[in-house]
Structure 1
Amino acid sequence: MKEGNGRITKGDELYPFFTCELGGGMMTSYHRRVYVYPQDAYSLAIVKLGSGSNLLGYYMYHGGTNPEGHAYLNEMQRTPYTNWNDLPVKTYDFQAPLGEFGQKNPHYYILRKLHLFMHDYGETLASMDASFPQADKPQTKGIDSYLRWSYRQKDNSAFVFVNNYERLQNITDKKGVQFEVCGVKFPQKKMIVPAGTCCIFPVNIDGIQYATAQIVAKRDGKIYLEQIAGIPTEIAVDGKVLRNVRAKGLVSPIYRNIYLLTSAEAENLFLPEEEKYRVQSSIPVSFHKKQDAGLLRKITIGVAGVAEEPVDADFEQAAIYRIDVPSEKGLLSIKYQGDCARLYADGKLLADNFYNGREFLYGLWRLPQGVKQLELRILPMQADEPVYFPREADTTPGEKVIACVLYD
């Protein structure tokens, strides 16, 4: 069966929302190569808070690596305690906000806005009850006939939670939107909520009657709001209504103690300069192919009724590449195409990867001293594998290394 541009086996299903813990990532299993987008994690967190949760809890906020042991510690169908998904032997990255090697992924920054909000407004939010104006509407996957929103309220104050995003669904702009919460109707003229929008609006919070901007933080008497892309900022305060307000960042307030930030400024708010989001520079790393792949392995179906991951012996038939270790000890990125890959140093397994269209990463600072060359083994992509691949993955049969680069 086909879904989008990916492959999906009979009986598998892509869910519109993750079943993982709030705001975290999703581990790529052998039979289902999930590709997490930043908005997946963010929208889930918005929905959870707007539904009454008071805790931003994570299963994996920082990805990890399975430690050395007497036996493999990876989850697999062949063991009685974890017999559902086959996971990699070494990597436990989980596409988390902080990656396996400490790298800051895009959703690390986008989630910071909620972390700041919960730090500064969590006590206020915790005592608020949740209300669901759209509870009588259809709640099934892909429904696009109305805007999904809720609010948390206590006394005369509230936070309005808006989610116009659903994973892998073509959610459209919502026209003619106007909220009425705590007797406050806003904005003054009905607005359009663009597709993909997830945000939190304040109602009677810290002197702000309402704002069509996301409330982010309050520190040292200053209130920080985020301007939401595609939504004109309207703020009612001190009996006035400020319309079409433009973000001025941290340079100056838009009104008294209220600062309006762009999304990028909100995501980097209070971070030291060296920790703010930036595009990493990279240098090429030399590699060459040593051996073509041998016989294709037979992909078996395990006790959970899904494809089983390869075992050690299968990699004897893998294509083999040699990678020269650069003198700098940065983050090695291997851009490849194939079913799955393993990285070795002097015969020892260092890392492994189930291909889903993203890079295979390894922190070279973990290498034992004196290692000059790495061995990369790739099992080729097979035709009609009983595996779900996302649209970002190249499912052409075969294998190849596209590039190896070192990030600073």
Structure 2
Amino acid sequence: MSWTLKLKVDKRENAITYLPFSCENKGLKIRVNQKFIEKNDKPWLPIMGEFHFSRCDEDLWERELLKIKACNVDIVATYVLWIYHEEIENHFDWSGNKNLRKFVELCHKYNMFVFLRPGPWAHAECRNGGFPDWLLKKGCKLRTNDPTYLYYARRWYEQIALQIKGLYFKDGGPIIGIQLENELYDDKKHIKALKEIAQQLDMHVPIYTVTGWGANGGAKFPSGEVIPSFGGYPEAPWEQHTHELLPNPNFFFTDIRNDSSIGNDLFKKEGAGIKDNSKDTDYSDYPYITCELGGGNQKTYHRRPVINSDDVASMATIKLGCGCNLLGYYMFHGGKHSIGKLTTLQESKETGYPNDYPVISYDFQAPIGQYGQVRPHYHKLRNLHMFAHDFGETIAPMGVYFPDVLPANRYDTTTPRMAVRSDGKKGFVFFANHQRYPGIQDIPKIQVTIDLMDGEKIVIPSQPFDLPKGAYFFWPFNLDIGGITLESATVQPLCKVEDREKNKSTYFFKVCDGVNPEYVFKKDISGHVTCDTKGVNIEVRGNRTIISNIPLGIEYPLSFTAPETGKQILIYTLTQQQAESCWKAKLLNREVIIISESHNLRFEGNKIIVYGEKNHGSLVFYPKLDKSVHFNGHIIEQTASGRFCKVNFSFVQSKSRIEIKEQGFQTDLYDKYMFMDESERYCAKQYNISWDVTNLQELDDAILELEYIGDVIQAYYKGQILNDDFYDGVNTFQISVKKLEDRNLKLKISPLNKNKRIYIQQWPEFTSKLTCNITQAKVRPIFN
């Protein structure tokens, strides 16, 4: 079957109308219209990542913020969890990893904006949703305009205001946004009351938001006072059943922003389908932004989904194609629950909430894990963020258009899923063919015809293509490339580097799964194109120049001289691996592309910090650096070739050993969180694990990694619980051991019952009804 999809860009976009959100400080201005956010009067498509300062060791904040920033994230969002700071009434604690002011100042140091989520109720898989136990005993009606509750809510906001005084955007600080409450979908009067309290306390920011999801068409909020912000997760571990989920609407292109499945364990659900338009509130007066686009999913005891990198990256790509103009992830960086003075601080059924979560681990399978582990979706998302940075001004004002043939329902896996963002003259066409359930399949012979407002017809690609299962990408059309019009291309734009002194523009694109790269330019520009290799096919058809058989990689760019401007234009077409190894940073006051295929990077001023699991590697720089940058590795060799330079480096060697001894099971304070059935205690196992790592202090980190079969695993260090997890059949149990002076741990595993009513994607093979054991252990050095 072939698919000839048609799409007409026929909606006249409404004139820009500004919302009552704006602020200006020294040389910087932020304001909001009904379509997008502006920075200095230009469209801005920012990236926001959630990172909870109180769930990370204070001495690691700086390192982890630099990792987040290196993924081209502009805004750090963070909850301020009430119970963490006032567990005991009238005893406020803002010290150590609870030092909000220090955290915000670090964000400012590295030119990152901050979005505060102060609650008062937060959820965040925290005990009581973040409320202190003592508040629940006051007898007031929580999360309402009950005078007693408002008294304590105001008192909480007062304490936050004291901590962040002078750090708002209006004062030259980084705080540009405040989210009021969380997941409150039916009380707009309370939202307004909280905003009034915040402003009375001088908590003035350019942007106030609320979570917009909820039953019956979405949350109710005071018109013009806040911007509704949305979300979407790959899975729903809060669902109370243990069956496979229905196909997820978030893997479809749709104009529905509200995902009513989020948090439906806490309010009555009214299911949302992909064609459920009549139940969605009209949000046309507000830009489409997200605050909880799943960077992963936290596991509950009864549902333990495994999230892969394409689950996360495809959903973010789809939301961009659906018109989202602020991609905000939850979580972007995992963390850990603290142990309070009085109780543990995780959500659990014993506190009246619907789910049991690990006592400590809040890893979330995020792009950056609980201990700072960089995962594959970090790299896939960085590609998308690079595009948002360099082309956000172009795409943010664009509307969204859908083809004439749409998927019939959420079970349709044969109709192509696509959308277009366009201003009527130029744009981007999005495709997605990834979904967790049910299994997806290849879709053959797709070609799209786009009718533009001026009567122009774009056919993309020039020949039908097969969309592979699992693929997701977007292509440009009528994109200006340094004065030459790229009519269409079957490659995804990645980023660009401008050199105004040399009148030169360099563009980087990446190949798309299963599709041969092709560039189609308007006019006959064949006499202005060169390539440093043979075999490139340059063909003129009518008033178009089609370039195919493109060399991939960084050695052989397409080189143009723009006929009208004389500008030199270079186009590099990268492989998927090269693209996901590509970083963009500002070094020595110029934009630099760095390709590092074996290591991760973070940047501190003009210093490049390289870290990873190999003790040697290389970096390729474009353009060649005129001066040396600071670098943490030992340089073996530095060479220059063409437009690039390459640095080979090495780190100090490190070796490790590990020893595991099984012991008799001993009782500990947190054993109750291991056994849903106490009768299984007799099968539980306990181990003593010791290790040694050479040159430990010179490493960036050292991760103890355990493969095991069991139900719940706990690690203790010097009598205190250090970490825990629920077995999911795929992921390993990991602990950072660099800071542990005594190099041994006590490990406990409760047995996995093959008859237990829990959802695990990939069950292991059982030799008996109850199983628990360690199958492999190692220490992974992270070189630096």
2:482 matches 1:215: no
The CA distance in 1 between the partners of 2:656 and 2:511, in whole Å, is 36
Q: 1:15-68: CA deviations, max 9, x gaps?
A: 544767325110111100110111100111111111111111111100011123
1:146 equivalent among 415, 418, 433: 415
When residues 315 and 56 of structure 1 are mapped into structure 2, their CA distance, relative to the original with a 3 A threshold, is: farther
Q: Which range moves more in the overlay, 48-57 or 385-394?
A: 385-394
Select the residue among 43, 47, 51 that pairs with 2:318. Answer: 47
Distance 1:315 1:222, change over 3 A: farther
The 10-residue stretch of structure 1 (14-23 or 167-176) with the greater mean CA deviation from structure 2: 14-23
1:209 to 1:363, Cα distance in 2 relative to 1, 3 A: same
The structure-2 alpha-carbon separation of the partners of 1:258 and 1:41, relative to structure 1 and needing over 3 Å to count, comes to: same
> Matched residues in 2 for 1:188 and 1:76: separation?
56
In the alignment, is the contact (CA less than 8 A) between 1:355 and 1:393 conserved in 2?
no
> In 1, are the aligned partners of 2:321 and 2:400 still within 8 Å (CA)?
yes
**Post-superposition offset of 1:284:** 5.0
Distance 2:242 2:511 in 1: 42
2:716 paired residue number: 344
Q: Secondary structure at the match of 2:449?
A: strand
d(CA) in 1 for partners of 2:362, 2:421 = 36
Partners of 1:123 and 1:361 lie apart in 2 by 41
Q: Distance in 2 between matches of 1:190 and 1:56?
A: 31
Higher share in strand? 2
Q: Are the equivalent residues in 2 in contact too, given 1:332–1:362 (CA < 8 A)?
A: yes
Q: Is 1:259 aligned to residue 572 of structure 2? A: yes
- 1:252 alignment partner, SS class: strand
Q: How many angstroms does 1:312 deviate by?
A: 12
TM-score scaled by length of structure 2: 0.46
Q: Secondary structure of the equivalent of 2:724?
A: strand
**Alpha-carbon contact 2:681-2:750 (below 8 Å) kept:** no
Secondary structure, in 3 states, of the residue corresponding to 2:374?
Answer: coil
Please give the alpha-carbon distance, in whole angstroms, between the structure 2 residues aligned to 1:16 and 1:24. Answer: 19
Alpha carbons 1:212, 1:234 under 8 Å: kept: yes
For residues 262 and 284 of structure 1, do their structure 2 counterparts lie closer, same or farther at Cα, with a shift above 3 Å needed? farther
CA–CA distance in structure 2, aligned partners of residues 106 and 180 of structure 1:
34
Deviation at 1:321, TM superposition (A): 0.7
| Counterpart residue number, 1:335 | 707
- Which of the pair has more CA radius of gyration? 2
Q: Secondary structure at the match of 1:251?
A: strand
Tell whether 2:591 aligns with 1:360.
no
Which structure has more relative contact order (CA 8 Å, sep 6+)? It is: 1
Deviation digits for residues 221-279 of structure 1, max 9, x if unmatched? 211110113111111024311123231x2223134321100011111212654426966
Aligned partners of 1:157 and 1:204 also within 8 Å: yes
1:143-222 correspondence runs (5 A): 143-181=412-450, 182=452, 183-206=457-480, 207-220=485-498, 221-222=505-506
Aligned residue among 750, 753, 762 for 1:379: 750
TM-score, normalised via structure 1 length: 0.86
* Of 177-186 and 88-97, the range deviating more from structure 2: 177-186
The question of whether the paired residues in 2 share the 8 Å contact of 1:159 and 1:203 is answered with yes
**Cα RMSD (Å):** 2.8
User: What is the percent sequence identity of the aligned residues?
Assistant: 31
Superposed, 1:1-400 pairs within 5 Å as 12-17=243-248, 21-70=292-341, 71-80=343-352, 83-133=353-403, 136-141=406-411, 143-181=412-450, 182=452, 183-206=457-480, 207-220=485-498, 221-238=505-522, 239-247=544-552, 249-256=553-560, 257-270=570-583, 273=596, 274-275=599-600, 283=656, 285-291=658-664, 310=675, 318-328=684-694, 329=696, 330-357=702-729, 358-367=731-740, 369=741, 371-391=742-762, 393=764, 397-400=770-773
Conserved? CA contact 2:674–2:750, under 8 Å? no
- Alpha-carbon distance in structure 2 between the residues aligned to 1:231 and 1:355: 38
How many corresponding residue pairs?
Answer: 383
- Give the match for residue 3 of structure 2: none
> Does the CA contact (< 8 Å) of 2:333 and 2:368 recur in 1?
yes
- Is contact 1:223–1:258 with CA below 8 Å preserved after alignment? yes
Quick check: 270-279 or 116-125, which moved more?
Answer: 270-279
Residue 132 of structure 1 contacts residue 150 of structure 1 at CA under 8 Å; is this kept in 2?
A: yes
Q: 1:310 to 1:283 in 2, by over 3 A?
A: same
| Structure 1 contact 150–161 (Cα < 8 Å) conserved | yes
Q: Could you give the per-residue CA deviations for residues 313-367 of structure 1, whole angstroms, max 9, x where no partner exists?
A: 8997531011003235511101111011000012210000101121000000242
Tell me which moved more, 308-317 or 124-133: 308-317
Q: Secondary structure at the match of 2:390?
A: helix
Name the one with the larger helix percent: 2
8 Å CA contact 1:284–1:403 kept in 2: the answer is no
| Structure 1 residues 110 and 398: CA distance shift in structure 2, 3 A | same
Return closer, same or farther for 1:120/1:30 CA change in 2, 3 Å cut-off. Answer: same
Distance 1:346 1:229 in 2: 50
Separation of aligned partners in 2, 1:126 and 1:393: 46
CA contact (8 A) 1:134 1:148 kept: no
Quick one: structure 1 residues 107 and 16, their matched pair in 2 at CA, closer, same or farther if it must change by over 3 Å? farther
Residue type of the alignment partner of 2:306: Y
Change (3 A) 1:262 1:279: farther
Determine the C-alpha separation between the residues in 2 that align with 1:293 and 1:384: 26
Seen in structure 2, the aligned counterparts of structure 1 residues 326 and 101 have a Cα distance that, compared at 3 Å, is same
Corresponding residue of 1:303? none
- Relative to 1, partners in 2 of residues 1:336 and 1:58: Cα closer, same or farther, differing over 3 Å? same
Instruction: Give the Å deviation of 1:280.
Output: 5.4
CA contact (8 A) 1:179 1:186 kept: yes
State whether residues 346 and 358 of structure 2, in contact with CA within 8 Å, keep that contact through their aligned partners in structure 1: yes
Shift in CA distance, 278/151, structure 1 to aligned 2, threshold 3 Å: farther
> Following the alignment from structure 1 to structure 2, what is the Cα–Cα distance between the partners of residues 119 and 62?
20
Deviation at 1:291, TM superposition (A): 2.8
With over 3 angstroms needed to count, the CA separation of the structure-2 counterparts of 1:174 and 1:348, relative to structure 1, is: same
Is this contact kept in 2: 1:63–1:93, CA < 8 A?
Answer: yes
Measure the CA separation in 2 of the matches of 1:252 and 1:74: 53
Distance 1:176 1:312 in 2: 54
* Aligned residues of 1:381 and 1:395 also touching (Cα < 8 A): no
